Amino acid sequence: MTHPFTLGPAHLIALPSGALHWPHENLLIVSDLHLGKSERLARRGGALLPPYETRATLQKLDDDIEATAARRILCLGDSFDDLTAADNLSEDDRLWLTRLMAGRDWTWVQGNHDAGPAAIGGSHRAEIALGGLAFRHIATAQTPEISGHYHPKSHLPGRTAPCFLIDAARVIMPAYGASTGGLWCDHPDLAALMQPRALAILTGRRCLARPMHG
């Protein structure tokens, strides 16, 4: 169901949900939740989406926290579709998020959609280093690192899904949010970042690995 692997000194587990678990650090890592996307689109006159994506994303996060018993949560940017969306969460969704955060070490890394601290608890960082790894929203030349931003996706016969991209130097996380698009993993921007033997780990009911290139 999962895909264990090593990056630098860390033994990590890619989960079918699109989250990353680091058991030694009791840490759950997610990226690109884009909470409040339907509200932001409606506010800006864009396409109307059913207003359930925030609840679906919070349910998935709730399930992963319970399954891993993680006490530390790291969100790698674009956690909210914009800063106003963070302010405009429904009372029920805000209470749900507050309950998930209670008693946990929770860090929000800033993304390009939510560049600036939202009026919500936890620590707010531009990036963070932990256990020999760097965590940031957008990949850089400084590795080993774990990042998000690109929403990579891949396909196998009969299946298309968000995916992790993994090589010996970096991980690019899939978008965790319920209503997010994606960039094909063979896109030139991603091909330029990843090493020739990189893997795409498709998410879904179980993790499925395939070569990213080819």
The mean pLDDT value for 160-168 works out to: 96
State the DSSP code for 90: -
Quote the CA–CA distance of 138 and 12 in Å, as a whole number: 20
What does the mean pLDDT of the chain come to? 90
**Per-residue confidence at 115, pLDDT binned at 50, 70, 90?**
low
End-to-end CA distance of the chain: 23
In this predicted structure, the answer to whether residue 49 has a pLDDT above a threshold of 90 is no
Q: Are the CB atoms for 65 and 99 separated by under 8 Å?
A: no
Count of residues for the chain? 214
> What amino acid occupies position 163?
C
The mean pLDDT value for 80-90 works out to: 78
In this predicted structure, the answer to whether residue 48 has a pLDDT above a threshold of 60 is no
Q: Give residue 198's domain range.
A: 3-211
pTM greater than 0.85: yes
83 vs 48, higher pLDDT: 83
**Per-residue confidence at 122, pLDDT binned at 50, 70, 90?**
very high
The mean pLDDT value for 7-25 works out to: 98
Indicate the number of domains in the chain. 1
Quote the CA–CA distance of 165 and 182 in Å, as a whole number: 13
Query: SS3 of 69, please?
Result: coil
Q: Tell me the per-residue pLDDT of 143-163, one tens digit each, with 9 for 90 and over.
A: 999 999 999 999 888 888 999
Write phi, then psi, for 18 (nearest 5 degrees). Answer: 105, 0
Q: Kindly report the CATH number assigned to the domain that includes residue 205.
A: 3.60.21
In this predicted structure, the answer to whether residue 211 has a pLDDT above a threshold of 80 is yes
| pLDDT given for residue 1 in this prediction | 94
Q: Are the CB atoms for 84 and 104 separated by under 8 Å?
A: no
